[in-house]
Amino acid sequence: DQQVKQNSPSLSVQEGRISILNCDYTNSMFDYFLWYKKYPAEGPTFLISISSIKDKNEDGRFTVFLNKSAKHLSLHIVPSQPGDSAVYFCAASGVYGGSQGNLIFGKGTKLSVKP
């Protein structure tokens, strides 16, 4: 049973436009959420995170929004650049996932930003 779901396997966006990547979770005990970016043949790179006490966190072109009532988070990238083309993983952590940093990952969304 998937606790963290990324329902879109892929997303294609034009350079300069906004990219919105979505993630849903089922476990209300999750209290920390992260986004990772992964290029082929490399390990995931931590991008941005948000605690459940917030509903928004911003870092440069990247903003993560958390809607706890809907158990939904999203990553906005504005403006999108060709170098953003990668697979993006959503991850969650909380009491259920282990008390010492265990993460539950979604299956990823492949973002393609076209020039």
Partner 1 sequence: DVKVTQSSRYLVKRTGEKVFLECVQDMDHENMFWYRQDPGLGLRLIYFSYDVKMKEKGDIPEGYSVSREKKERFSLILESASTNQTSMYLCASSSPTGIGHQPQHFGYGTRLSIL
What is the smallest separation between the CB atom of 26 and partner 1, expressed in angstroms? 15
Closer residue to partner 1 (CB): 46 or 81: 46
To the nearest whole angstrom, how small is the minimum distance from the Cβ of residue 89 to partner 1? 7
Positive or negative CA dihedral for 62, 65, 34, 90?
negative
Binding interface with partner 1 (CB under 8 A): 9, 31-32, 34, 36, 41-46, 49, 51, 89, 93, 98-103, 105-108
Cα separations (Å) of 76 from 14, 53, 66, 90, 97? 14, 19, 11, 13, 26
* C-beta of 25 vs 89, nearer to partner 1: 89
Yes or no: say if 32 and 52 are a contact pair by the CB < 8 Å rule.
yes
Q: How far is the CB of 35 from partner 1 (least distance, A)?
A: 10
d(CA 102, CA 97): 6
